[in-house]
Amino acid sequence: MEATRGTNPSGARLNAAIAVIGIDIGKNSFHVVGQDHRGAIVLRQKWSRGQVEARLANLPPCLIGMEACVGAHHLSCKLQMLGHDARLMPAKYVRPYSKGQKNDFRDAEAIAEAVQRPTMKFVATKTADQLDLQALHRVRDRLVGQRTGAINQIRAFLLERGIAVRQGLHSLRFELPGILATRTDVLSPRMLRIIEALADDWRRLDERIEGLSNEIETLARQDQACQRLMTVPGIGPIISSAMVAAIGTGDVFSKGRDFGAWLGLVPKQISTGDRTILGSISRHGNRYLRALFVQAAWVVLVKVKCWERYGLDSWIKAAKKRLHHNVLAIALANKLARIAWAVLNKGRAFECVTTEETASRPA
């Protein structure tokens, strides 16, 4: 190893001097910047992927910072096994510490600066099981998008021939065989072949999505954290497993409010002086998980008939009087997310306590 400032000390002295390391992760090469206890740069090198673990294994335990990106969780687990304090940070929180024009070494230096900040918000390192579960959700989400595209294309081709089908996936699935069999007056043989091919794609995607959904549901039924989350209204195997895959036990958040803000379910605030300006939701964080919680809120609003059973009756009725139904759904999604975080972090199933029981308890 080589020092970048002053004299070139021996390898042992240099290893002992390194207190903080910032690693800019690349596909094949990693740019590494090391600082001593005073903040001076004592290491500035480019390593290949295979050299990272071997070289860091020879260093005394130190603080290592990385941006939370592809491959970062795996490397963080490896470095923690070597005794280092490896921490992951969102890239947008590292960017303000970059000085001058952008290059990989300056990015690594910014990471080393950011990881030392006491107020920095870190990302919890995911385990191998979490990464596997997250991969299942990402593949399923991609297939659902492809299925939606195939269905929309079928509808568009039919509408171009003057055939309109009622809204909804089930309506199209029920009416499509009859349309292909009887509407040959407006559908040419070529168009029939195209639509039949799209229908075959739809069926194959349905089978793959069902298989992934069953696998996710099986994993959720076997996980205690997912079982506790499924006691929350509107939350089933898909949402519970996605939440466990995303945040684990939720220790990275100090309270449910922080989790709701991370999901982007809170108003965007642009305030100054005595003026408080609240806009639309911020849409930060995990977009997939946020969409699932909004869907859960709509399920509770539309399909749940007895809100009192979950202790939501008075809150929903009061909110209905002052909020648009779309705003109410977002507010309820935020409330469900905060409840879900408490259930996950505290290790207890959801319990509804009625007002009478609460009033009878001693203060």
User: What secondary structure does DSSP assign to 205-244, as a single string?
Assistant: HHHHHHHHHHHHHHHHHH-HHHHHHTTSTT--HHHHHHHH
The per-residue pLDDT of the chain, averaged, comes to: 89
The per-residue pLDDT for 354 is 58
pTM, rounded to two decimals: 0.85
The residue-averaged pLDDT of 243-259 equals 92
Residue 19 in this model has a pLDDT that exceeds 50: yes
Query: Which string of DSSP letters, residue by residue, matches 76-129?
Result: HHHHHHTT-EEEEE-HHHHGGG--SS--HHHHHHHHHHHTT-TT---BPPPPHH
- 74 HSE (CA, 13 A, CB side): 9
Output the CA torsion sign for 279, 283, 289, 292. positive
- Sorting pLDDT into bands at 50, 70 and 90, what band is 339? very high
Q: What is the mean pLDDT of residues 10-23?
A: 78
Q: What is the pLDDT of residue 159?
A: 94
Judge whether residue 31 has pLDDT over 60. Answer: yes
The rounded distance, in Å, linking the Cα atoms of 299 and 307 is 12
Predicted pLDDT at 4: 47
pLDDT, tens digit (0-9, with 9 covering 90-100), for 155-211: 999 999 999 999 888 999 999 999 999 988 899 999 999 999 999 999 999 999 999
What is the per-residue pLDDT for 326? 92
Residue burial 3-26, b: 16+ Cβ < 10 Å; e: rest: beeeeeeeeeebbebbbbbbbbbb
Residue 225 has pLDDT above 90, yes or no: yes
User: Cα dihedral sign for 85, 126, 254, 114?
Assistant: positive
Cα four-point dihedral sign 150, 154, 155, 156: positive
pLDDT reported for residue 269: 84
More reliable by pLDDT, 213 or 359: 213
Residues 305 and 324: their CA atoms lie apart, in Å, by 20
pLDDT at 53 over 80: yes
* 227 compared with 305, residue with greater pLDDT: 227
- Cβ-Cβ contacts under 8 Å for 246 (sequence gap 6 or more): 134, 286, 289
- The CA–CA distances, whole Å, from 339 to 59, 102, 351 equal 43, 42, 10
Q: 8 or 106, which is more confident?
A: 106
- Residue 150 above 60 pLDDT? yes
Please write the tens of the pLDDT for every residue from 307-326: 887 888 888 989 999 999 99
* Mean pLDDT of the region 276-281: 83
pLDDT at 210: 97
| pLDDT for the residue 257 | 92
| 8 Å CB contact between 66 and 78 | no
Q: Residue 7: which pLDDT band, with cuts at 50, 70 and 90?
A: very low
Going by pLDDT thresholds of 50, 70 and 90, the confidence category of residue 11 is low
Q: What is the pLDDT of residue 50?
A: 87
pLDDT-based confidence at residue 120 (cuts at 50, 70, 90)? very high
| pLDDT bracket for residue 13 (50, 70, 90) | low
